[in-house]
Structures are given as structure tokens and as C-alpha cells.
Structure 1
Amino acid sequence: MTPNRPHPLPGPPLLSIIRGDIGAGDVIERHHHRSHMIAWAATATATVRTDSRDWLVPPTHALWIPAGTEHAVEMLRPGDLCAVVVDPNRCSIDWPEPTGVRITPVICELIVHLDRHPDSATAARHAESLVLTLLEPVPHHHVPGAAAQGPPPARDRRRPHRRSWRTHIRMRAALTQLARGTSVGATARAVGYRKPSAFAATFHRVIGQHPSIYHPAIERPAQVSDPVIGAC
């Protein structure tokens, strides 16, 4: 998807940043917002369900939710859930559907700064604009756990497509297990792999990261070498 950046009205684009600790298993029932929202599970893992797709949102990613989009949220791993609320009339982004984005270290630090210093007007306006400028859409197949509702279309059920679809389903199930604290070895067995190394290689190929990054034993950014990790 190519970013669509219209000419917004003047003024600060961010309305508020809402953060709170959410427990595992907590559910936010189906609802919608009048404003755009960047949903980021800063130190948690959440599932966001929309009409067309389920999204598993780990700390490395966030989900752009356009104003008016019906969605529900379930927390798989407890932690800090962050919602960046954006004014549709003053926003430089106009993506019409939910869109996955990476939370880079720079975006992470900007959000944390804006949350801690909400009254710094001039600096805040620059930081807010920079957050929206840096957001780039990630294709569905590059977003961890993004899964369309239902099986693939009939035209995609030829053997190679069916194998790929099944692999993605297994990796999505693995993500859920890992988010709940299951070890890599136990997760590999649960989704049908006898060798954890084979599972890890497939997981890395499909998701783009090693499965250990989702394990509770690895939580601090200093322990993670992947440059796109922004959990803080």
C-alpha cells in the first residue's frame, strides 16, 4: 500500500495518548472511534479483530485503525497497552483500512516523549508530525499474525497456495502460544514440528524474527539485536 498523505488542517494532529496496564485475557468488546487510532501493545501482545482480518499485535508492531472502524481487542500477554488518538482533520495519513506498521526505536521514543511531556507545545507539535511522517505501512504478509477471516479463495487452493496458507495458520497459532508464555520447544511441538530448529527457521521465514523474541524470558530491548524492535 502506498501512503496517502493529504493536506491536513493546521494544528496539532495528536489528540491524546492513552496508556494502561491490561491483564491477560482482558477483552475490549467490539466498538469504534470517531478519531484515527494507532493501537500499540507497548509491552504486551494483543489480538485485534476487524470485520475482514485478525491482527496479532506484538510490541514490535502497531495497528493503524481508521476512524469508524469496528474492532475488538483481546489481550494475550499482559502489559502496557498504548492508544495514540489522531485527529482525522489534522492528520497527514488517510489510510482507509486497518494497516500494520512497525514501531521502530525512533517512533517508540517519540511516543514515550509525547506521553511524558504533553504540555511542551512547540516541541510536541514537531514530535507529533514526525511520528506520522515516520509511520510506513507494512504488507499484510509481513505483519506478525495478520490473518484474513476464513479459508483462502478457491482459486488459491492449489497445492503451493494451500501449503503456504497452512504454514501461515501454524505460525499464527505459534504466535499465540508464544505470546502466552509457552516455550519455543513446546510451541514447536504444539504446531506440529518435531525439531525446534526447523520450527524456528520456518517462523523466521514467515514472521521475519526468531520465535525467542516473543518469549517472556526476553523482554528488555538491550537483549534484542533486531533494529526494528521498539518495546520500551
Structure 2
Amino acid sequence: MTIVETPLKALGADRVTTEAGVHLIARTYHKGARLDPHMHRESQLIYASAGTMQVTTPRGRWLVPPDRAVWVPARHAHAIDMLADSQMRTLYFELDWLERETHHLRLDTEFVVQVSPLLHHAILTLFERNGEAERARLLVRLALLELRRTDDSATFIPLPRDPRARRAADLVLASPASAGDIATLASRIGSSARTLSRLFAAETKLSFKAWCQRARIAAAIERLSMDRTLSVKTLAADLGYASVPAFSHAFRQVTGQTPTEFAGQGMIATPAPAPRASRGQR
């Protein structure tokens, strides 16, 4: 896999500098667009105010819907896939500025943070380009302070490095609904269930069952990002759940929300009520 170091000047003319060491870039991408594996000299906070992204690094894969943002440290390889039309807003931080201005923040590894209303408005306000330098400086620092919020790993799928476990993971990710049991999967990759279970626990910090469940819920979020007309009932059936309650329970275990609560983001379609029959049809 070729990894390119991409300078900021190559990202287009939509670059704005808020102060020495901090830069903003706004881009619009269509569904299906892909940014191949690359890295930057700067650390970055990537946020899509609309649309859903998938960010992949050597550690794993994150689904990043509009209520989350991803932090990628400088010179960390990453690829980005657009699962829907996306309005990307990215803050880039030069390393000397970051070392000078941040305290007690662990920013040396990639992570996803849930975007509070405060962080959402701080980022969007930075892109208003009204020229108020002091206001921009305060907004940048406010955005960084919001990164102190708990790392949200609900949409993170850690990827094992062992070739056998990675083949198994790829099979599950390709078809989450038909992953089958661990014994069947192990036989497909020429391993044993015991070995595969041990590898997943050691390399992903999740049991194989928990890992598969997270992969299925991530697939649910991905599908909802691409087709908002999907009903919860249809999605549950497509992903192999026996019932909507079973799907809802699994969804809550991974995301901390039920599908109905998650619908507050406008991503899940609520079925329309059945039309009332006229008297002649009763």
C-alpha cells in the first residue's frame, strides 16, 4: 500500500489561516469519493457537518456520522471514504503550535469524539471568515478543550494484525449478516475456533462475538447513512437479527442508544402510520 504525504497547499484554494500554525480547509465531497491512504505533517480534526465518513487507519476503522469528529495525529496514515454527500470541515494544527498551546491533552493517537452542540458551533463559526482574529483564536482553543470529552469508540472497529484473524475480519466485514459461528469461520481460513478466539481477544481487546456485533452495528450505521428511507424493521432483518427488539438491544449495547433514540439525528426513517380505512372498506 502506497502512502503519500500530502501538503496542505495541495488540498485546494479553500484554505484559511486563523493564526500562525492553525489552518482551516472546507471541502465538499460526493457519496462514493475516496481519499486514498495518505498523511500530513500537521495533526488534524476532521468533521463532516453533513454526511458520513469512514476513516481507516492501521489500527482499525471508524464510522464518523455528523455527531462525531475524528482526530488524526501528524504523519499518521489514514484513508477516508465518503458514505454520503459530505460537507467536510478540517482543522489542521502545526506541531510546534500544538505543543505550545495544548496541555494535558493526549493527542498522540487517533480517536473519535462525540461532537457536542458547543463543538459543532465552534467549528462552523470558524469557517464564517469574518476576520476577527481574537475570536478565531478563542474558538480554536475551545474546540481543542472539547476534545477532553470521553473518547467515543462505539463506531470503531479494531482490526487484528495477525493474517489469519485479519482474513476472518475481512470476511465478516464483507458480509456481517452471514458471519456465522466462529467454528465455521475458522474452518474457512484454515484455523481453529480456539485460535481465532484467542487472536481476536488479544489483538482487538474484544471477544469474537462482541467484535462481530460491533461490525454488524457499524454496518447498520453505514447503511442508514446511505439510505435514510430504511426502516428499523427492514434493517434488523437484513443484518440477520431475529427481531427488532434483538436488534435494538444490540444497537444500544454498542452505541449507548436505541435505534429510535439514534433517529434524533434524522438518520432512521420512521414508518408512516397505516391509512385509516373508510367505512366502506371496513
Q: For the aligned residues, what is the CA RMSD?
A: 2.6
Q: Which moved more, 1:43-52 or 1:85-94?
A: 85-94
- Please name the residue that 2:36 is paired with: 29
CA contact (8 A) 1:37 1:65 kept: yes
Is 1:172 aligned to residue 218 of structure 2? Answer: yes
How many residue pairs match? The answer is 205
Shift of 1:153: 4.4
Distance in 1 separating the partners of 2:154 and 2:31: 19
- Alignment partner of 2:51 out of 44, 52, 56: 44
- Please name the residue that 1:147 is paired with: 157
Distance in 2 separating the partners of 1:217 and 1:60: 8
Over the matched positions of the two proteins, sequence identity in percent amounts to 24
Off by >6 Å, runs of 4+ in structure 1:
213-217
Equivalent runs, 1:45-194 vs 2, <5 Å = 45-91=52-98, 92=102, 93=105, 95-117=107-129, 119-136=131-148, 138-139=150-151, 142-150=152-160, 151=165, 153-154=198-199, 156=201, 161-181=207-227, 182-194=230-242
Shift of 1:42: 1.4
Q: Secondary structure at the match of 2:50?
A: coil
Larger-Rg structure: 2
Unaligned runs of 5+ in 2: 1-17, 166-196, 268-282
Unaligned runs of 5+ in 1: 1-10, 220-232
Q: Deviations over 1:59-104 (max 9, x none)?
A: 1111100010111100112121121112221121452111111211
Distance in 2 separating the partners of 1:153 and 1:95: 30
- Alignment partner of 2:254 out of 174, 198, 206: 206
Higher helix share: 2
Compute the TM-score of the two structures, normalised by the length of structure 1. Answer: 0.78
Shift of 1:145: 2.1
Q: Deviations over 1:101-121 (max 9, x none)?
A: 121100111111111035211
Letter in 1 for 2:124: V
